[in-house]
Amino acid sequence: MSARPGLRHGLLLLGVAGATLFYGDSIITPAISVLGAMHWLTVLTPALTPYVLPCSLAVLVGLFLVQRHGTAAVGRWFGPVIVLWFLTLAVVGAVHIVRQPAILAALSPLQAWAFLTGPGLHLLPVLGAIVLALTGAEALYADLGHFGRRPIQWAWCGLVLPSLAINYLGQGALLMVDPSAIENPFFRLFPAPMLLPAVVLATLAAIIASQAVISGAYSLTRQAMQLGFLPRLTVRHTSAAAAGQIYLPAVNTALLVGVVVVVLGFGSSTALAGAYGIAVTLTMLITTVLTWFVVRDGWRLPVAVVAPITLFFLALDALLVAGCAVKLFDGGWFALAVGAGLFLLMSTWASGRLRLMQALRQDGLALQPFLDTLHRDDLGRAERTAIYPVADGGLVPQALLHNLKHNQVLHACNLVLTVVFEERPWVPEADRLETEALGHGFWRTRVHFGYLDDPDVPAALRALSATGLVLDPMTTTWFLSRETVQPGGTGLAAWRQRLFVALARSAGSATQFFRLPDNAVVELGTRVQL
């Protein structure tokens, strides 16, 4: 892949497109889940119908307001509630399967094939409805950064999939006995005394499902920042024990506004069903395309093995996308519009950062020749340590030049530091640091993080003591170069330059993002034209 930079760039943008579609899903999922759960109140009595919308908004606003406190306090209840929810689904479904065991014939692949080939073109709207039965599962995989692969595999294969399959079979068995149950087959599975507990449990499950995609949006945003597709945003860690539990105020506010707009704009889970699914199925299609390159270039599996499997999933995904595409003008456009807007922001930020780096290199001084001239200058040395975080370790840090210009002094120990985010989830501690002595009291260090690693730079630098370079926090100062970007170059369209400048001005503090000590940071500015 490294030998084909054009292909690599295209696949990277394709992956970004898939990620942006997830944000549309992150807005729609809480809205449709809570609206649907609250709509079940009308099953108890139609008199509660006017309260569905305000109750849904109250639950959603409350859910987003508690995000700043973290989910550790209430998170311990998520697991038991969800386990109880899926076991309940399985039990009520199994009861009706026992009453009508003929429904088990639906598990036959022949039945599935007959269903797919029978209706002709009328199959597409049906598939668009069926997608609603399988969407939501992707939220499990959005939280890979929080829980890891193995727990999600066990949860899906051991509990979620069997429980859902049994429940759907149970609904089919009910309809075989009582076709009039088509009005609300799910709640008709429950006997009347269990209806209210079922509504309460369904509401709790909807809230937890919403929490899953919200947490996934936080995780995805941090990964995008560390891969260079979004400006730095404020990241707050809400748990001392779990590094994956984070809170991003800007993302939380944006999701809340989006969810409220969707709830007020669509008004019901039935109306939202038209918007739901197209983003998920497109993401599935993109994932299948990317999987081909993973198994071929990464795993080195032969084409004879990979091609049939990939073609099967491509055909299935394409069929589901076509089924959801018929709902494009019924609301499906919303998720696509959100994805397109975010893709524009991310691609503009990535392109602008590339132009910015090129401008800095063009105007910068090579570090080693500059250091070789230091012995000819009569400069005082402060018996302290200076750390200069820079994007390009081969150039003289702008903060160093400003320090020399205004203070006429060098530090006894100078560390030119570059933080590199790898295109892999985690970097082992053994591969974290690269350090070389440059002479004249200078060292160059590269700190490597994965896109799921917590970029705690001071903690990573403690390992330098093994090389004999001991950094005393009490005598160490961090000098940051803050670039003020101005439009005016020719690399990007004028409107994209203005957009990049606006994004750059809204970027969060590097001090907070990299966990630098607040009382030991000095920022020195410079102007750069794109």
Say how far apart CA 272 and CA 486 lie, in whole Å. Answer: 42
Contact between 226 and 421 under an 8 Å Cβ cutoff? The reply is yes
Q: What is the predicted pLDDT for the residue at 294?
A: 87
**pLDDT tens track, the chain, 530 positions:** 555 767 777 888 888 888 888 888 788 888 888 888 787 777 777 777 788 888 889 989 988 988 887 766 566 777 788 899 999 999 999 999 999 999 999 888 888 888 877 776 677 777 777 777 776 665 666 555 556 678 778 888 888 889 999 999 999 999 999 998 887 788 889 888 888 888 888 888 888 878 878 888 888 898 888 888 999 888 887 765 555 677 889 999 999 999 999 999 888 777 777 677 788 888 889 989 999 988 888 888 898 889 999 999 999 888 888 888 877 877 778 888 988 999 999 999 998 888 888 887 787 788 888 888 876 556 678 889 999 999 888 888 888 888 887 777 888 899 999 999 987 878 998 899 999 998 888 999 999 998 878 889 999 999 888 888 888 889 999 998 877 777 776 667 888 888 888 888 888 788 888 999 988 998 877 777 76
Q: Which of 366, 346, 386, 397 is nearest to 500 (CA)?
A: 346
Please give the DSSP secondary-structure letter assigned to residue 515: T
Cα 270 to Cα 260, 266, 273, 418, distances in angstroms: 16, 9, 5, 51
Q: Which of 164, 167, 206, 214 is nearest to 38 (CA)?
A: 206
2 three-class SS? coil
Say how far apart CA 417 and CA 455 lie, in whole Å. Answer: 13
52 three-class SS? helix
User: Is residue 249 classed exposed, middle or buried when 0-12, 13-18 and 19+ CB atoms within 10 A define those classes?
Assistant: middle
Say how far apart CA 193 and CA 190 lie, in whole Å. Answer: 8
384 three-class SS? strand
Q: What is the predicted pLDDT for the residue at 326?
A: 79
Q: DSSP labels for 72-84?
A: HHHHHHHHHHHHH
Q: What is the predicted pLDDT for the residue at 146?
A: 56
Q: What is the predicted pLDDT for the residue at 320?
A: 85
Say how far apart CA 31 and CA 25 lie, in whole Å. Answer: 10
Contact between 99 and 78 under an 8 Å Cβ cutoff? The reply is no
CA 482 from centroid of its chain's CA atoms: 27
Say how far apart CA 497 and CA 503 lie, in whole Å. Answer: 10
